[in-house]
Amino acid sequence: MEDELSKQSEDNIIIVRGKFKSEAINQYGLFLLIFNAMKNIDTHQVIVATFSEIYDLDLSSPWNKFEEYIVDRKWKGNYIHNITTSISDAFNRFPEDVKSMTRLYESVCNYDYEQMDIILYDIINRLIHDKNLKMETIIQEVSQQELQNIREDRSKPQKQDEETQDEETQDEKKDDGNVILKIKPVLAPLNGKPIYELRVGDKIMIKIIPASSKENYYIDLNNLRDEDKGIKSMPAKVIDIKSSASKNNPIEILTEIMPGVYGLCLEDEKLIKLKLYDSEVDALYKEADRLKPAKKTSSSNKKSKTSKSIVVMSMFLIFILLVFVILLMFGW
C-alpha cells in the first residue's frame, strides 16, 4: 500500500502558490512554482506591484487561473519591473545551490510549511528588505495528465469573440508606457522548436525589425547593427502566445526583451520551427559583447582622413613660411 502511495506521489506534479505584502513600502506580490520530476523548479511566475488588489487573490483558486492572473497583469504592464525581474532571477538561480534546492523540494513534498516558508521568505525578502514582510503559501499536487491537458488547451486557437479583448489588452499595454517593438523569430528548420509547441517561459532568438526610429534606437542601443550581416539576433523570453480560430489570422507571440521593453511577432506560417536560445552556442549575446562600441561608419573615416590632410597642409605652409623668413633674414 505504501509503495502504491509512493508511486502515486511520484507521478504527480507539485505546485506552490504564494503571495506576500510589504505595507511599509507599498509592494504586493504573487508567485507560483511548478516542480518537475528532477526535483527542481521547472517553471515559475512572479509579479510585484504597488496595488494591493493582487494580494486579495484567493490562494485556493485553481492553480491555472492563478498563473493566468499573473501573466495577464504582466501582459498589461501593471507591475514593478526591476523587483519582479530580480525575484524571478533568484528563482532561476536557486537550483544551482543543490543543498538548498534539496531542502526546499523535501519540505514541499512533506508539506512542511514551516521549513518551506523559511526558504521562500528568505529568497523574497533579500530583495524586498522589509522585516515586517508577510507571506502566505499553499501546496497542491496535480497529475501530469492534468498539467499537460491545461497547457494544451491554452495553446488551442481562441474563439473569435476573444480577439477584440486581445486587441484591447494590447492597446492598454501601449498606454501604460511600455515599449513594444516589431520583431521576427529566428528560424531553425532542422533542430528548432515547432511554433505550435512553443510555451510561455521559452527563450527564443529574435531579430528586431528596423521599421521605425523606435526599433532603430533599440537596435543601436544593443549594438545589433552589422554592416555585413545586417541586424543581429538576440534572445527574448516568451511571456504570452495567442492564436485565432481563423486559419488566415497570424499567431501572436509576445516576448520580453528587457524590463519594460517587449517584442511582438505576428507569424502567419504555423508549421515553422523556431531557434531556441542556447547560452553556450549563442555566446555572442553575452553582456560584454552587447556593450562593445559600434564600428565607425565610412563617413567618420572620411572625416578622419580629411582632418589629417588639413594638419599636413598646415604644417607644410608653416615650413614654407619659416624658410621665407630665414631667407629674408640672410638677405637683410
The pLDDT, as a whole number, for residue 289 is 47
> When comparing pLDDT for 162 and 268, which is higher?
268
> When comparing pLDDT for 76 and 40, which is higher?
40
Query: Span 156-171, mean pLDDT?
Result: 49
Query: Span 125-151, mean pLDDT?
Result: 91
332 pLDDT band, cuts 50/70/90, is low
**pLDDT at position 197 over 80:** yes
Query: Span 64-92, mean pLDDT?
Result: 86
**pLDDT at position 313 over 50:** yes
Residue 290's closest CA among 228, 222, 206, 225?
222
Is there a contact between 227 and 298 (Cβ–Cβ < 8 Å)?
no
The pLDDT, as a whole number, for residue 173 is 47
What does the alpha-carbon distance between residue 112 and residue 11 come to, in Å, rounded to a whole number?
Answer: 20
Residue 259's closest CA among 31, 41, 125, 89?
89
What does the alpha-carbon distance between residue 22 and residue 24 come to, in Å, rounded to a whole number?
Answer: 5
The pLDDT, as a whole number, for residue 118 is 96
Task: Tell me the pLDDT tens digit for each residue of 198-236.
Answer: 989 999 999 999 988 889 888 888 888 887 788 999 999
Least confident of 79-83, 191-195, 302-306: 302-306
Label residue 262 exposed, middle or buried (CB < 10 Å: 0-12, 13-18, 19+).
Answer: buried
Average pLDDT of the chain to the nearest whole number: 81
Query: Span 114-131, mean pLDDT?
Result: 95
What does the alpha-carbon distance between residue 314 and residue 266 come to, in Å, rounded to a whole number?
Answer: 58
Domain positions in the chain are: 6-154, 157-290
C-alpha cell of residue 60: 485556493
244 pLDDT band, cuts 50/70/90, is low
Query: Span 315-325, mean pLDDT?
Result: 78
- Start-end of H helices in the chain: 2-11, 63-76, 81-93, 98-109, 113-128, 144-155, 163-175, 213-221, 287-290, 298-331
The pLDDT, as a whole number, for residue 7 is 42
78 pLDDT band, cuts 50/70/90, is confident
> When comparing pLDDT for 158 and 51, which is higher?
51
154 pLDDT band, cuts 50/70/90, is low
The pLDDT, as a whole number, for residue 231 is 92
Sequence-separated contacts (24+) of 169-176 with Cβ below 8 Å? 169/72, 169/75, 169/76, 170/264, 172/76, 172/77, 173/75, 173/76, 173/77, 173/262, 176/76, 176/77, 176/78
The pLDDT, as a whole number, for residue 46 is 93
What does the alpha-carbon distance between residue 222 and residue 128 come to, in Å, rounded to a whole number?
Answer: 29
**pLDDT at position 166 over 60:** no
What does the alpha-carbon distance between residue 144 and residue 10 come to, in Å, rounded to a whole number?
Answer: 10
From the CA atom positions of the chain, what is the Rg in Å?
28
C-alpha cell of residue 307: 582632418
Task: Tell me the pLDDT tens digit for each residue of 245-301.
Answer: 566 678 899 999 988 889 999 988 878 899 999 887 775 554 444 444 444 444 445
Query: Span 180-204, mean pLDDT?
Result: 90
- Residues above pLDDT 70, as percent of the chain: 79
Q: Please calculate the CA angle 151-154-155 and round it to the nearest 5 degrees.
A: 95
Least confident of 174-178, 198-202, 212-216, 310-314: 174-178
The pLDDT, as a whole number, for residue 2 is 43
